[in-house]
């Protein structure tokens, strides 16, 4: 499987070099980011997606790239960068209705995990603040997207956050 990913990346790079079509180049860059992400090489996924944002800011793949960056940071357990990334998707791409409920929930998840880590490391005050922020995002997801498939997960997240906050 590793060899398949390596071959795919090589082929994407060759295709990138052999086209002058900026739209196609952006699509290839997006595919490179997804390939890294699928391979669980999240650091390189972030790099590839950021390159797309820098080189093709007019691309139709900007929202998807921002989401890929946020998801990669989440997988890397960089909770603050993940939360900031998801918020950026919501702020800059409010018309991406497929992404927004998920991002709202993921912000709650990132703050919940950050708060849990802070509590475990003895930073109780910061941990409580982070858990309270998680709870607000879970509640926002429940209130704003009551019929979205992610909403039951937000409800469970809210219950866990409330439990952790006593």
pLDDT tens readout for residues 60-97:
999 999 999 999 999 999 999 999 999 999 999 988 77
Q: How far, in Å, CA of 71 to CA of 110, rounded?
A: 10
Q: What is the pLDDT of residues 117-161, one digit of tens each?
A: 999 999 999 999 999 999 999 999 999 999 999 999 999 999 999
**Strand, coil or helix: 110:** helix
Instruction: Please choose, from the candidates 157, 122, 153, 114, the residue with its C-alpha nearest in 3D space to the C-alpha of residue 136.
Output: 157
- The confidence band for 11, taking pLDDT boundaries of 50, 70 and 90, is confident
Q: How far, in Å, CA of 82 to CA of 19, rounded?
A: 33
**Res 12: pLDDT:** 81
**Res 1: pLDDT:** 61
* Tokens matching residue 29: 């860059």
């Amino acid at each position: 499987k590793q060899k398949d990913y390596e071959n795919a990346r090589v082929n994407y790079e060759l295709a990138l070099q052999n086209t002058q079509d900026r739209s196609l180049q952006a699509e290839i860059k997006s595919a490179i980011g997804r390939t890294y992400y699928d391979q669980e090489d999240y650091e390189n996924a972030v790099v590839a997606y950021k390159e797309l944002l820098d080189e093709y800011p007019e691309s139709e793949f900007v929202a998807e790239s921002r989401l890929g960056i946020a998801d990669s940071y989440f997988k890397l357990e960089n909770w603050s960068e993940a939360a900031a990334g998801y918020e950026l998707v919501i702020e800059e791409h409010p018309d991406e209705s497929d992404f927004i409920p998920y991002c709202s929930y993921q912000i709650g998840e990132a703050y919940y995990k950050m708060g849990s880590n802070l509590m475990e490391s003895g930073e109780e005050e910061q941990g409580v603040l982070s858990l309270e922020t998680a709870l607000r995002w879970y509640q926002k997801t429940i209130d704003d997207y009551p019929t979205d498939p992610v909403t039951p997960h937000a409800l469970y997240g809210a219950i866990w956050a409330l439990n952790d906050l006593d």
